[in-house]
Amino acid sequence: MNSTIEKIKIPSCVFFLVILGMLIDRIYLDFPYLQLDPKINLLNVANLLISILIAFLIPLYFKKLTEEKHDQKIFLIDDFKELITIVKKIKSIVSDAYNKRVFSTQDRDNIILTFTEAELKVDSIKSQISLFGNGSRKISEDLTEHLFEYNDYLTGGEMMLSSFDSVDLRFYTDNNIKYGKLETEIKNLIHKTYKL
Amino acid sequence: MEIKDHINIATDFSDHPGSRYIEDGAFSGQDFLEKILLPRFEKAVRENYLLEINLDKVYGYPSSFISGSFGKLSIEKGGELLLKHIVLISNDNPLNAEKINREIKNPKK
């Protein structure tokens, strides 16, 4: 049985090899081969080939670099958006206290804790944005300063007095204005970050 | 200059710093300044060494506390002298040190 299979196998292989040889021969005959002009310097040919190679590699390299930078920016902008969400919590604490007509020690503590959370987010943004070089430092400084200004307004004023136990319309309105300013500044910085 | 003294705000004072003045509430900036910061800072200046201040393990630093302590000291002694003799350590939240440095350089009256 085995010897029968071997007998069939050998002629099949030979047959395929013959067909393959004929195909290669056909392609070879049809292929217009190049003749190198002996006057051409081999170094010039090598130079040309390297130039062609570089012309292909450089766009590929920059494409990869641009894609990486784009991805990093998306992450960074997500962090800016998260910062807005965190700071919005502070506005909500004040709004809730206004609606309840009571401002508690717990509210004060929550505001301070939320500012700490916002500062940690800003620190993370600062560390990421530094990778973008030119212009990133100014964005970083502006972001920190805008957060500090809002922090100064809330935790540097009357809200910190132990006698501050309710939010009146004036405080509520002022806080909304200060918060709105901060949110707008963060959004402006998002636009600037897109342009980096 | 060598570091010869250390203040840890969380353990030496409070992990819950409060308002500006003593009459405003507990753990005020004024209280911290008068009881801890001022005497230790004056000693550091007199004996020409660095005072290390650890800001970690604190819930947060309200602006009023910073203004009532570091800001007030900066107005009284001068920001340059303060920055020469204190070292701020803030591993938990680097922005705490930044906030204090900002206040020392531009203290609110």
Same domain, A11 and A95: no
A160 located within any domain: yes
Same domain, A93 and A154: yes
The nearest CA of chain B is from the CA of A161 a distance in Å of 5
Same domain, A17 and A111: no
Which tens digits make up the pLDDT trace of A110-167?
A: 999 999 999 999 999 999 999 888 889 999 999 999 999 999 999 999 999 999 999 9
How many structural domains are present in chain A?
2
Same domain, A113 and A158: yes
Query: In chain B, what residues touch A112 (CB-CB under 8 Å)?
Result: 59-60, 62
The nearest CA of chain A is from the CA of B3 a distance in Å of 27
Same domain, A164 and A97: yes
Tens of each residue's pLDDT in chain B, 109 residues: 899 999 999 999 999 999 999 999 999 999 999 999 999 999 999 999 999 999 999 999 999 999 999 999 999 999 999 999 999 999 999 999 999 999 999 998 6
A65 located within any domain: no
Instruction: Report the 10 Å Cβ neighbour count for A52.
Output: 10
Range of the domain at A168: 70-195
Tokens 């010039």 correspond to: A44
Same domain, A94 and A147: yes
Where residue A6 falls among pLDDT bands split at 50, 70, 90? low
Query: In chain A, what residues touch B18 (CB-CB under 8 Å)?
Result: 160
A58 located within any domain: no
Same domain, A81 and A163: yes
What is the helix, strand, coil percentage profile of chain A, to 5?
85, 0, 15
3-state SS of B45-66 is HHCCCEEEEECCCCCCCCHHHH
A139 located within any domain: yes
A63 located within any domain: no
Same domain, A109 and A27: no
**Mutation target vs A (from B15, B19, B91, B104; most A CBs, 10 A cutoff):** B19
Same domain, A127 and A176: yes
* CATH number (domain holding residue A162): 1.20.120
A115 located within any domain: yes
Smallest Cβ distance to B59: which of A112, A122, A157? A112
**Mutation target vs A (from B64, B72, B96, B104; most A CBs, 10 A cutoff):** B64
Contact B18 A161 (CB under 8 A): no
A123 located within any domain: yes
Ranking A56-65, A174-183, B20-29 by mean pLDDT, the lowest is A56-65
Contact B59 A115 (CB under 8 A): no
Complex prediction ipTM: 0.94
What are B's interface residues with A at a Cβ cutoff of 8 A?
16, 18-20, 24-26, 59-60, 62-64, 67, 93-96, 98-99, 102, 108
Which tens digits make up the pLDDT trace of A160-170?
A: 999 999 999 99
Residue A96, C-beta contacts closer than 8 angstroms, at least 6 positions apart = A107
Are the C-beta atoms of residues A113 and B60 closer than 8 Å to each other? yes
The CA angle B49-B55-B56, to the nearest 5 degrees, is: 130
Q: Is the pLDDT of residue A29 over 80?
A: no
A89 located within any domain: yes
Tokens 């390297």 correspond to: A50
Same domain, A17 and A103: no
A162 touching chain B per CB within 8 A: yes
Q: What does the alpha-carbon distance between residue B35 and residue A106 come to, in Å, rounded to a whole number?
A: 27
A175 touching chain B per CB within 8 A: no
Contact B102 A148 (CB under 8 A): yes
Same domain, A24 and A100: no
**Residue A32 has what pLDDT?**
63
Residue A135 structure tokens: 């212009």
Same domain, A181 and A99: yes
A158 touching chain B per CB within 8 A: no
Mean pLDDT of A159-183: 96
Query: In chain B, what residues touch A123 (CB-CB under 8 Å)?
Result: 93-95
